[in-house]
Structure 1
Amino acid sequence: MKVLVADKISPKGVAFLRAQTGIEVIEAYGSSAEKVLELVKDVHAIAVRSETKITAEVLAAAPLLKVVGRAGVGVDNVDVEAATERGVVVMNTPSGNTIATAELTFTHMLCGARPVPQAAASMRGGQWDRKSFSGIELFRKTLGIVGLGRIGSEVAKRAQAFGMRVLAFDPYLAPSRAKAMQIENVSLDELLAQADYITVHMPLTDDTHYMIDEGAFEKCKKGLRIFNCARGGIIKEAALLAALKSGKVAAAGLDVYEDEPLAADSELRKLPNVTLTPHLGASTAEAQESVGIEIAEQIADVLRGGVIRNAVNMPSLDAASLKVLGPYLDLGAKLGTLVQQIGPQQIASLRITYWGRIVDLDSNAITRAIQQGFLRRISGESVNFVNSPVMLERLGVKVEVIKSGENSSYTELIHVEALAADGSRHSAAGTLIGKTNQRRIVAINERGVEVDASGKLLLIENRDQPGMIGYVGTLLGKDGVNIANMSLSRQEAGQTALMVINLDSEPSAAARAELKNHAAIKLAKFVHL
């Protein structure tokens, strides 16, 4: 398998890839867009930083591509949507630059409190001006952190060491975690009103774009100091400029901008109370080595069929999570393909319900496995964990996931139901049994059964009358098909009965036709799991 290292990463990361059996590494730093299109024709993975653009055109030219790895956090240079449609995993390295970015943020905060860059420039100019560069202390001031993820948490620790009171706004922050970190979890409006310093640490999304705008600055204290080492566009630059000029904001520090590189004539460059750096968040020797090694390890894991970490377009699974979830993923895929085969060709929606202990697990990955299983016989090898939601959406199939708190007959249960436009429903449920996590199908179309969730199944719905089991067994025997297991289900005597049979081999077309033509048999369906 070939790995294209399109941008320069840590030599240790490249060396790690070269040391892996069966992996050939191609180093092509600084290649033109045309050269990249030529190089990707037979590669299985691409490693980039921020220079090389992985566009839809590049992805289309790489039919063997499995993974794109970004040595860094932002994936702005990768067309994630196009990669997802093609089933290509896009990964980043969010933890590698955590300390570097937290320390840069704190450097900006210190420069905002004490105008060290301005004083240093004055000294280089031959001056000795102590009066013009008076500052304030961080001690006993209030810091508002917008986004308390990895980097925000590290900034909080450093602020507490300086004796600051720390507020945080993060809609996903659990109160228990905030309490454990001795941080006050508040609303955004409360943070804006109380903070002496504000630093933002959120990704740029539709919800966070211009989160700090004119209206936000109006709610802040006069003399606020504000910093952004996360993503340009979270703070509206036009609003920041106005607040700096009016004195509402006393100082600011920016490492990221709405448009990069920052225009040479930008007004931000002219203000004396603004410290600017050219997107240096991850620019430390330690961070670059860390992300280079990390992305190399992640790419190797994917190519070996192992764990997937830090994927931006699918649930990430580390080794520990995969060990726990593995049996559920397999069971989910089997239930998905079973429901697809017993249902109509066109369905309107897919309803997935989880009961019991499984509710507390990361069900996102299990849901992906069910979707992939459902599409396996429709889309073939082109469907995978990454693109299965997109493919279902393209088919017009809505997916509903329910985590039920109600009691079930089983400790844990997965129920998959396909709903057709005409209102008909087709379903299957499964669970894990025993210490070895044996996969069991325990219901089909709401009829209780118990069969092994593997191999070949024959489903027969028939009028409940004597001799049917013998008839089916004799027919299969004549056809040379051995029965491995059989489960029977009926609701009332004389009504409809269901036989689910595990087979060692597939019945012939003639045998299946004979089953379907029997007067008492309403449905005879062969299913391959």
Structure 2
Amino acid sequence: MKILVADKISSIGVDFLKQQEGFEVVEAYGLYKEDYSKFLELAKGSSAIIVRSDSKVTREVIETAAPELKAIGRAGVGVDNIDAEAATDYGVVVMNTPGGNTIATAELTFTHMLCGARPVPQGAQSMREGRWDRKILGGSELFKKTLGVCGMGRIGAEVAKRAKAFGMEILAYDPYLSANKAEALGVEAVELEELFANSDYITVHMPLTDATRGMINAESIATMKDGVRLFNCARGGIINEEDLLAALESGKVAAAGLDVYASEPLAEDHPFRSAKNLNLTPHLGASTEEAQESVGLEIAESVTSVIRGGGIRNAINMPSLDEQTLKTVGPYLDLCSALGSLVQQLALEKIEKLKITYSGKIVDLDANSLTRGIIKGFLKDISSNANFVNALVIMERLGLNVDVLKSSEETDYTELIKVEAECANGENVSAEGTLIGKGNSPRVVAINGREVEVEPHGCMLVIANSDELGIVGKIGSIIGKDGVNIAAMSLSRNEVGGVALNIASLDSDLSDAAMDEIKSIEAIKQAKVVHL
């Protein structure tokens, strides 16, 4: 399996990959910009591509590497250089390393804050130039000032901890910050407008999205205190650069510090380079030895785990599935896939909606993973590239709704999964399953509301017929005449003389002639071979 390392990561991470049996590690540092055609050639047949910020994994790159490509790893936080939508279309997991550079970025942010309060860079430069500018390089203290933190994820929380140690009051804005978490961090959760209006220092730690792009602009700066200080070590584009320049020139913003920019690298003639009271660093957030070792090893381990079929950590285009969760839900995934496929194959009309019901102890498990498993099975014969990553997206594009319900109603089983399909003609098709025994063997325990017990694998002949004498014998005779062995059979009926359900597990497929003969039996209402 080829692992293309497009950007330079820590040698610890590369060595980890090289130690993996069956891995061919190709190091192509700088090739994306130097020779794009050669880069595409190397991408072809790759099982994984690892990048930092220099190389881009575009739709073209993903299409070139498909169908072998399983994972794209970003040794860092931002994934702006990865086409996550295209990756999802091709069922490729996109992962980053949000934890590896947390401390490094938090410390750099605080360095910028300190340099915004005390003109250390200006003082250092004046000393090199032979001056003694003590009288004109006054500053201010952080003590008892109010810091506004936009985004209270890992990095925002670490910045807040350091600010508390400096005696600062902390206002925090984050749509997902709970009251309990705010209290534990010792911060006051406020709306964005309140944070802007009452902060002496403001730092942003949010992803670049449509909602955050240009979040700090002329309009929002006008609502801030005179002499406010602004800092961005998150993503370029969150602060409108032209508006920041104007605010620095007018004195509305007393000082600012930036590590990221809307376009990188920063142009040589960019007006930022000559702006007063603006400290600039060239995207150094993760540039510490410790952070690089951490993210390099972390992304190497994450990519390896995905390729080996293990846990999925820090995925940005699907829920992460850690080793412990995978160990817990793993035994159910084959059952889920089989139930989804069974319902899809048994439906005679176009399916318009799926309803999935979890009952018993299974309601405490990761329903998202189980649901993806069901949908993956449902799409098996509909989409050739459906997998755990893109299953929900494909369903959405097909216009098929999926309702998920966790039921508290008692059933005959400790855990039960029921998949129902609503068809265009108003009919419903359903299948129910559970795990049995110490080996957690999957079993289909009901089809269309009738109790059965079937191992969901291989060829299964599903027959609905009038409950009449001799039907099983006739069916068995036709199957035997066709040279096919019946491995197991499960029989069920709703009432004496009603509709019976016969399910025969077969060692091989039936011929068309045998199926036509079975369907010609007058009592047969439906006969279908399904493949699981």
Q: Paired residue for 2:298, among 286, 290, 294?
A: 294
Query: Paired residue for 2:10?
Result: 10
Matches within 5 A, 1:322-361: 322-344=326-348, 346-355=350-359, 357-361=361-365
Going from structure 1 to structure 2, the CA distance change for 1:109 and 1:23 (only over 3 Å counts) comes to same
Q: Deviations over 1:482-525 (max 9, x none)?
A: 353525241x5443333344455544544433332222221122
Q: Check the 8 A contact 2:357/2:407 in 1, yes or no.
A: no
Q: Check the 8 A contact 2:231/2:256 in 1, yes or no.
A: yes
Rounded to whole Å, the distance in 2 between the matches of 1:167 and 1:442 is 55
Q: Check the 8 A contact 1:432/1:440 in 2, yes or no.
A: yes
Going from structure 1 to structure 2, the CA distance change for 1:182 and 1:436 (only over 3 Å counts) comes to farther
Compare 407-416 and 189-198 and name the one that shifted more. 407-416
Partner SS state of residue 69, structure 1:
strand
Q: Paired residue for 2:149, among 132, 145, 148?
A: 145
Query: Paired residue for 1:407?
Result: 409
Q: Paired residue for 1:186, among 177, 184, 190?
A: 190
Rounded to whole Å, the distance in 2 between the matches of 1:103 and 1:55 is 32
Rounded to whole Å, the distance in 1 between the matches of 2:106 and 2:61 is 34
Query: Paired residue for 1:196?
Result: 200
Q: Paired residue for 2:161, among 139, 143, 157?
A: 157
1:52 lines up with 2:55 in the alignment: yes
Q: Deviations over 1:228-257 (max 9, x none)?
A: 111112222233333333433222211111
Equivalent position amino acid for 1:286 in 2: E
Query: Paired residue for 2:240?
Result: 236
Q: Deviations over 1:98-150 (max 9, x none)?
A: 11111111111111222211222222222222332222222232222221112
TM-score w.r.t. length of structure 2: 0.90
Going from structure 1 to structure 2, the CA distance change for 1:501 and 1:163 (only over 3 Å counts) comes to farther
Q: Check the 8 A contact 1:481/1:506 in 2, yes or no.
A: no
Query: Paired residue for 1:304?
Result: 308
Q: Check the 8 A contact 1:449/1:489 in 2, yes or no.
A: no
Rounded to whole Å, the distance in 2 between the matches of 1:221 and 1:480 is 83
Q: How many residues align?
A: 526
Query: Paired residue for 1:219?
Result: 223
Rounded to whole Å, the distance in 1 between the matches of 2:508 and 2:149 is 62
Going from structure 1 to structure 2, the CA distance change for 1:28 and 1:417 (only over 3 Å counts) comes to same
Query: Paired residue for 2:177?
Result: 173
1:498 lines up with 2:505 in the alignment: no
Equivalent position amino acid for 1:428 in 2: A
Partner SS state of residue 44, structure 2:
helix
What 5-or-longer segments of structure 1 have no aligned partner?
A: none
Query: Paired residue for 2:524?
Result: 521
Query: Paired residue for 2:140?
Result: 136
Equivalent position amino acid for 2:47 in 1: H
Compare 362-371 and 251-260 and name the one that shifted more. 362-371
Matches within 5 A, 1:420-439: 420-433=423-436, 436-439=439-442
Rounded to whole Å, the distance in 1 between the matches of 2:503 and 2:260 is 61
Going from structure 1 to structure 2, the CA distance change for 1:414 and 1:105 (only over 3 Å counts) comes to farther
Partner SS state of residue 209, structure 1:
coil
Rounded to whole Å, the distance in 2 between the matches of 1:363 and 1:484 is 31
Rounded to whole Å, the distance in 1 between the matches of 2:226 and 2:205 is 22
Equivalent position amino acid for 1:391 in 2: I
Query: Paired residue for 2:83?
Result: 79
Q: Check the 8 A contact 2:151/2:205 in 1, yes or no.
A: yes
Rounded to whole Å, the distance in 1 between the matches of 2:332 and 2:8 is 39
Rounded to whole Å, the distance in 2 between the matches of 1:423 and 1:166 is 58
Going from structure 1 to structure 2, the CA distance change for 1:33 and 1:374 (only over 3 Å counts) comes to same
TM-score w.r.t. length of structure 1: 0.90
Partner SS state of residue 351, structure 2:
coil
Compare 428-437 and 95-104 and name the one that shifted more. 428-437
Query: Paired residue for 1:416?
Result: 419
Partner SS state of residue 381, structure 2:
helix
Query: Paired residue for 1:34?
Result: 37
Going from structure 1 to structure 2, the CA distance change for 1:266 and 1:352 (only over 3 Å counts) comes to farther
Measure how far apart 1:422 and its partner are.
4.0
Q: Deviations over 1:149-202 (max 9, x none)?
A: 121122122222222232322222333333333333332223223322221111
Equivalent position amino acid for 2:11 in 1: P
Going from structure 1 to structure 2, the CA distance change for 1:458 and 1:225 (only over 3 Å counts) comes to same
What 5-or-longer segments of structure 2 have no aligned partner?
A: none
Rounded to whole Å, the distance in 2 between the matches of 1:194 and 1:411 is 55
Going from structure 1 to structure 2, the CA distance change for 1:483 and 1:14 (only over 3 Å counts) comes to closer
Measure how far apart 1:78 and its partner are.
2.4
Equivalent position amino acid for 1:293 in 2: L
1:274 lines up with 2:283 in the alignment: no
1:250 lines up with 2:254 in the alignment: yes
Q: Deviations over 1:276-297 (max 9, x none)?
A: 1111111111111222222222
Equivalent position amino acid for 1:3 in 2: I
Rounded to whole Å, the distance in 2 between the matches of 1:344 and 1:198 is 61
Rounded to whole Å, the distance in 2 between the matches of 1:159 and 1:366 is 42
